[in-house]
Amino acid sequence: MAPAKSVPQQKTLPHLWRTLIFLLIVFILGNICFQAFNLVFSNIGEDVQAGSMAALITAIPGVVLGIVCFIYSSLGDFVSLKKLTAVGAVLLFVGSLMGFFLNFGCLPMVVLSRAIQTAGCQVTGSVFLVLASKYCHGKQKVVAFGVYTAGYQLSTAFGILAGGLFTNLTNLNLSFAGAELYGWSFLFLIPVLAAFCFPFIFPSLPGATQKKTHIDVIGFTIFGIAIGCLTIFFTCLGSSDPILHSTTFAWIIGAAIFFVVFGIYINKAKDPFITPEFLKNTRWLMSIGLFAIFYFFNFAVAPTFNALGTQVFGISTAQVSFMLVWGYLVAVIFALLSGQIDAMIGRRAAIIVAGLMMVVGFGLCAWFTNPDLIIEGTTQSWLLAVFNCFVWGGIGLVYSPVVDTVVSTVKPEESGRAIGSNDLILNVSGSIGVAIFGPMMVGAFWTAPSGTLSAEQLSIFANPLNASAFSTLFWIYGGIALLGVIWFLLIMSKVTYRKVDRAEELGEAA
């Protein structure tokens, strides 16, 4: 997640740090919910007979998240933060309660509830960043952004654990309005725990509305529909349901039409959220491609390991989540140290090292998932958990230097738009990625010729066929990470780094 754009410093805000802490708690609870659902969407798909379409549980809310991040970062500059937070609270509780009580074991209701809930939860994260930018001075601002980043990474780890633990709750024999309540249904209630935070948040939030700024509702709507159609296209393309598969052509045509309409719109509109001139900045386009590549598999990694553990090694989702959590803790450490690492080896080297960590991690996972490499099952799954730490260490390290690279390609007055575009591309890319890879995690990829599987393979792996399939998936992920490294090597000489006088920035706030 990116810091809000730099704004003129305000004087003081009563109980600032108390307000920031409670805003962060709400944001953490929301991200725990997002990451938990991302881990277990394949389990949910089995329960609601959604099959390969279950990836939409992450893909659609991911698109919503990217768009609202951009919108909220703009709204926070001129809309009353108190009113904005109130709207977010309403969306959070409506989505949470609707998802728990009214999902009816129906995929569209689960996806709709998650989209509403995600839009609500993100408000507090954006308000946190706006307050930190406006009211934290000097080193306090650095501390606030560091706390925010650490909270995001820690909540990701807790989300993985929550997904495993709640999905493991079976045989509850509970129902509402005639519909069964599954263990994962209780994940919807995690953000509801934020109810106790809002009485501490609202009194200190500024309520004054500043000069209004245009929000491109039409542009965001057209862009959102286009990305949504593209996401559903990839999901239907991998679906085993002949009816859904037959609709793929319609979805891609719809996406193409809306992208064309969007292109026409930004050329004709008075103040679109992305201008044609902004898109003509080739250095920005090249650098933003790093986010599109490095985060293409971001939402797919955790569910891939979950499906691998349950389908191949025959272990529970709870066991998988406990193995994965260490990788996210490594990501926390690398994210917190990314500034020091950048200072020691330079921004360019940091991006290359981060990308190679992902390549090595995915390569080792692919190698040790191969059924031809026989190791005792539990040992092999734990080795993959160790290799996962390389992957998430790279993901944790790459974010900060890539943000700096993207922002360095635009004018200072455009840095806010550049930061908003980072979150937009990051989440949209991850959503499209999980829509593509999600169907590949459901069931076996292929059938093996009779007699090709040894007795040892059959005894070690719950499903040796899927072992080969997941090995292929990891090779694909590693190849994408390697593409990111190659892309950066090709563009780094063309990217101009804008030096920032840090001492001056801190001095202005003193």
What distances in angstroms separate CA 63 from CA 118, 171, 189, 220, 377, one per listed residue?
10, 33, 22, 11, 37
Q: How many residues does the structure list for the chain? A: 510
User: What is the residue type of 246?
Assistant: S
- d(CA 174, CA 155) in angstroms, rounded, equals 28
Model pTM score: 0.79
| Stretch (H or E) spanning 70 | helix 56-75
**What CATH homologous superfamily does 279-510 map to?**
MFS general substrate transporter like domains (1.20.1250.20)
Using the structure block, give the residue that is written with the tokens 């930190």: 132
CB 111 within 8 A of CB 57: yes
User: What is the residue type of 428?
Assistant: V
- d(CA 477, CA 363) in angstroms, rounded, equals 9
Domain ranges of the chain: 1-205, 216-272, 279-510
Same fold for the pair 1-205 and 279-510 = yes
| Stretch (H or E) spanning 490 | helix 464-491
- d(CA 165, CA 29) in angstroms, rounded, equals 16
Q: Over the stretch 389-439, which tens digit does the pLDDT of each residue have? A: 999 999 988 888 888 888 778 776 666 677 777 878 888 899 889 888 887
Dihedral Cα 483, 487, 488, 491, nearest 10 deg? 180
Using the structure block, give the residue that is written with the tokens 């934020």: 194
CB 307 within 8 A of CB 473: no
Report DSSP letters for 288-347, one per residue.
HHHHHHHTTTTTTHHHHHHHHHHHTS---HHHHHHHHHHHHHHHHHHHHHHHHHHHHH-H
Q: Per the structure block, which two tokens stand in for 495?
A: 């990217």
Q: How many CA atoms lie within 13 A of 157 on its CB side?
A: 21
- Which residues, 6 or more positions from 178, have their beta carbon under 8 angstroms from its beta carbon? none
Architecture of domain 1-205: Up-down Bundle (1.20)
**Crossing angle, helix 282-294 and helix 464-491, to 10 degrees?**
160
- d(CA 232, CA 60) in angstroms, rounded, equals 9
Q: What is the pLDDT along the chain (510 residues), one digit of tens a residue?
A: 544 444 444 556 778 889 999 999 999 999 999 999 998 888 888 888 877 688 889 889 988 888 888 777 666 656 778 888 999 999 999 999 999 888 777 889 999 999 999 999 988 988 888 788 778 776 676 677 778 877 887 898 899 999 888 876 655 555 555 556 777 888 999 999 999 999 999 888 886 655 555 678 898 899 889 988 988 888 787 666 677 778 888 999 999 999 999 999 999 988 887 888 878 888 889 999 999 999 999 999 999 998 888 877 778 888 888 888 899 889 888 888 887 888 888 888 999 999 999 999 999 999 888 766 545 555 677 888 899 999 999 998 888 888 888 877 877 666 667 777 787 888 889 988 988 888 777 653 444 444 444 444 444 444 545 677 888 899 999 999 999 999 999 998 887 454 443 333 334 433
